[in-house]
């Protein structure tokens, strides 16, 4: 007997940037242990790793797709605001510590005639002192985070403080940045792309406004890289180790001169679904049926989904408007159904979907995906950012109803799955559910044939 597909919603809810919240992620397990998870929202565009993402302000002819603030940089005035906030926090900490010292001194025997000396043994518990200790610890942690105290450029604990400790309150994270000493000591790279072999080392833009708390400056791309004069924009993992880590090509596909489509995998999503870096995402644009498969190559830390590269945006038909400012450069108001496959490195969506197509309840799969999409579609139609519908409850209600209407995007999703999985998917689905094709009888719920 054919195996059935099982499904369960993840307990945690997820966000897509600031556009949607309370998104439901559903995990599926199909025949042969095939796994997938699904969610629906728009696309939150992440420009990390893009060769033309960031550029120096002194080069107005360059057209960066993002602003330096999204790479960590702060203007001098903004840094001053952070500095004043930090100094005010230090004053408050000093007041709290003095208050504690006064309480400790006052509690010593003989200093307060109204209080008798304590009997030998365990000291009396003082809730006020506990609350004060907690407040002091919290304020210290806050100040350490703001000033990067005892933290190195990799975010690890350090025995020494950063070079610009208590002077600069920001650090580069969206561009590759090095100290002048690191640039000088970097291993030379022999540029094979040059007509005459050229030895290169990283070149920094050492304009004073670009120095971060760790004394680092952005690395500038050379004429041999895909974005000459732009800053190098990194990813957490190398793509082409034939190049040094300070060269933009280190983050591009082999023999590639532009970034490929990829997604960012947040740790909460990975924990809830079993996804890992390099696992595959299959994305379907609901309004056009355009689909695209791409891997997770970047990481994140928030309960967020659908953070995708510029190439993924354009690969799904997104239109880039460089003449506009800010988010208007990337109109991302189209909705996308995302189907991600845990432990899928080395596998194609076709091979995984073909397994789902052999399930005894195979038709449930695209139908549930359609209800996941419908929940977000309905929220958008209401003008709401909160997607509060439960797609699995909606599916069960539909399944048990005496009269049924397909969810709005069932046909688009089903067709995209069929095209992605190829002939095996269509053959298996038709063998069990002949009503799928337009010439068949009207689609009926599973179990009512």
More confident residue, 169 or 346: 169
Residues 401-440: tens digit of each pLDDT = 866 778 889 999 988 888 876 654 555 555 555 554 444 4
Is beta strand 217-220 parallel, antiparallel or unpaired with respect to 198-200?
unpaired
Q: Give the residue from 431, 441, 335 showing the smallest Cα distance to 43.
A: 335
pLDDT at 40 over 50: yes
Residues 64 and 18 in one domain: no
From residue 130, give the alpha-carbon distance in Å to each of 70, 141, 144, 213, 281.
40, 17, 21, 34, 49
Q: Is residue 36 in some structural domain?
A: yes
Residues 284 and 373 in one domain: yes
Is the separation of the CB atoms in 201 and 189 below 8 Å? Answer: yes
Instruction: Label residue 372 by pLDDT band (50, 70, 90).
Output: very high
pLDDT at 444 over 50: no
For the chain, percent of residues with pLDDT exceeding 90: 71
Place of tokens 């050229």: 198
From residue 407, give the alpha-carbon distance in Å to each of 26, 367, 414, 445.
17, 8, 11, 12
Average pLDDT over residues 223-231: 96
Average pLDDT over residues 255-268: 91
Rg of the chain over all Cα atoms, to the nearest angstrom: 28
Q: Is residue 88 in some structural domain?
A: yes
Residues 96 and 142 in one domain: yes
Residues 142 and 22 in one domain: no
Mean pLDDT score across all residues of the chain = 89
Task: Give the count of domains, the chain.
Answer: 3
Residues 202 and 248 in one domain: yes
Quick one: pLDDT at residue 256? 80
Residues 80 and 123 in one domain: yes
More confident residue, 223 or 404: 223
pLDDT at 339 over 70: yes
Expressed as residue numbers, the domain containing 402 is 6-44+261-315+334-436
From residue 415, give the alpha-carbon distance in Å to each of 366, 371, 389.
9, 15, 24
Residues 304 and 427 in one domain: yes
pLDDT at 220 over 70: yes
- pTM (global) more than 0.85: no
pLDDT at 102 over 90: no
Quick one: pLDDT at residue 25? 98
pLDDT at 246 over 60: yes
Quick one: pLDDT at residue 328? 84
Mean pLDDT is lowest, of 102-116, 181-195, 406-420, for 102-116
Residues 432 and 351 in one domain: yes
Q: Give the residue from 232, 302, 233, 240 showing the smallest Cα distance to 265.
A: 302
More confident residue, 327 or 49: 49
Quick one: pLDDT at residue 12? 96
pLDDT at 109 over 70: no
Domain closes at, from 130, 147, 164 = 147
């Amino acid at each position: 007997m054919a195996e059935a597909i099982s499904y369960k919603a993840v307990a945690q809810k997820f966000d897509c940037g600031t556009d949607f919240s309370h998104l439901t992620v559903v995990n599926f397990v199909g025949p042969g242990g095939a796994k997938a998870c699904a969610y629906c929202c728009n696309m939150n565009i992440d420009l990390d790793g893009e060769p033309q993402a960031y550029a120096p302000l002194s080069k107005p002819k360059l057209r960066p797709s993002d602003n330096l603030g999204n790479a960590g940089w702060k203007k001098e005035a903004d840094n001053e605001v952070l500095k004043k906030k930090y100094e005010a926090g230090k004053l408050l900490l000093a007041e709290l510590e003095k208050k504690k010292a006064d309480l400790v001194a006052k509690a010593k025997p003989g200093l307060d005639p109204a209080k008798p000396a304590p009997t030998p043994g365990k000291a009396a518990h003082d809730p006020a002192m506990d609350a004060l200790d907690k407040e002091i610890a919290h304020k210290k942690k806050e100040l350490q985070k703001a000033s990067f105290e005892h933290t190195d450029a990799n975010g690890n604990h350090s025995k020494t403080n950063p070079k610009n400790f208590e002077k600069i309150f920001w650090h580069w994270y969206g561009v590759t940045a090095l100290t002048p000493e690191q640039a000088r000591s970097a291993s030379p790279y022999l540029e094979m792309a040059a007509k005459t072999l050229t030895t290169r080392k990283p070149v920094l833009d050492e304009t004073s406004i670009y120095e971060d708390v760790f004394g680092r400056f952005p690395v500038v791309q050379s004429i041999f890289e895909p974005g000459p004069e732009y800053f190098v924009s990194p990813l957490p993992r190398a793509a082409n180790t034939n190049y040094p880590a300070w060269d933009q090509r280190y983050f591009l596909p082999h023999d590639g001169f532009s970034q490929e489509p990829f997604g960012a995998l947040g740790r909460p999503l990975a924990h809830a679904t079993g996804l890992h870096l390099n696992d595959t995402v299959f994305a379907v644009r609901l309004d056009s049926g355009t689909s695209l498969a791409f891997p997770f190559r970047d990481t994140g830390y928030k309960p967020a989904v659908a953070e995708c590269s510029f190439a993924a945006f354009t690969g799904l038909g997104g239109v880039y408007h460089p003449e506009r400012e800010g988010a208007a450069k990337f109109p991302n108001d189209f909705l996308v159904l995302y189907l991600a496959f845990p432990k899928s490195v080395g596998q194609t969506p076709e091979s995984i979907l073909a397994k789902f197509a052999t399930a005894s309840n195979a038709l449930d799969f695209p139908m549930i995906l359609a209800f996941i999409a419908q929940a977000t579609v309905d929220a958008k139609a209401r003008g709401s950012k909160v997607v509060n519908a439960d797609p699995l409850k909606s599916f069960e209600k539909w399944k048990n109803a005496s009269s049924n209407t397909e969810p709005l995007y069932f046909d688009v999703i089903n067709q995209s799955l069929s095209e992605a999985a190829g002939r095996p998917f269509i053959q298996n689905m038709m063998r069990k559910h002949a009503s799928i094709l337009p010439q068949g009888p009207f689609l009926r719920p599973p179990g009512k044939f």
